[in-house]
Amino acid sequence: MRLPAVLLAICLIVAACTTEVEVSGIEPQDPVLVELGAELYSSNCAGCHGQDLRGTEQGPSHLSEVYEPAHHGDGAFLAAVSRGSPQHHWNFGPMPPVPGLSAEDVEAIVAFVREQQRLEGFEEYPPE
C-alpha cells in the first residue's frame, strides 16, 4: 500500500527538479521587465549590439559566451551604460557611455538580455 505513495513522491520531486533546470543556468525573467527592457534595448543598444542581440559592425553580440552572467554580471551592464567600456574583448573600439538611463532602466535591459540568453543559448568566444 505504501509503494504508490513513494513513487508519487519521487515523480513529484523529479518533475520539480527538471522544470527548474535551464540549459544555460539562467532563470526565467520577469515578463514585465523583459518587455520594458526590449523597448529600451531597441532604442539605446541595438544600433551597435543588434536588435537580435547578435551584434553589428559597431558592437559585439550579447549572446557571446563572454557575456554569460558569470563573466559579465548585471553590474557590468550598469557600469558599461554609465561609464562606457574600453575596447578589450573585441575590435569594435570602445563603447561610449549611454546617457539618459536610470538604474531601473538598466535592470530591465539586463532582464531582457538574460531572457534572450536563456532562450537562445550562447555563441562561442572567440567566434570562428
Residues 95 and 48: beta-carbon distance below 8 Å: yes
d(CA 81, CA 75): 10
Whether the upstream peptide bond of residue 4 has omega within 30° of 0, thus cis, is no
Between residue 73 and residue 92, which ones bind ligand HEC under the rule CB under 6 A? Answer: 76-77, 80-81, 85, 87-90, 92
Q: Tell me which of 34, 45, 108, 111 binds ligand HEC, using CB under 6 A.
A: 45
Q: Is 47 in the site for ligand HEC (CB under 6 A)?
A: yes
Closest distance to ligand HEC from the beta carbon of 116 (Å): 12
Task: Provide the CB-side half-sphere exposure for 32 (13 A, CA).
Answer: 1
Q: ∠ at Cα 85 (78, 119), nearest 5°?
A: 60
Closer residue to ligand HEC, CB minimum distance, 4 or 100: 100
Q: How many residues bind ligand HEC (CB under 6 A)?
A: 25
Closer residue to ligand HEC, CB minimum distance, 47 or 127: 47
Q: Is 116 exposed, middle or buried (0-12, 13-18, 19+ CB in 10 A)?
A: buried
Q: Which residues sit at the interface with ligand HEC, rule CB under 6 A?
A: 44-45, 47-49, 58-60, 72, 76-77, 80-81, 85, 87-90, 92-93, 95-96, 98, 101, 109
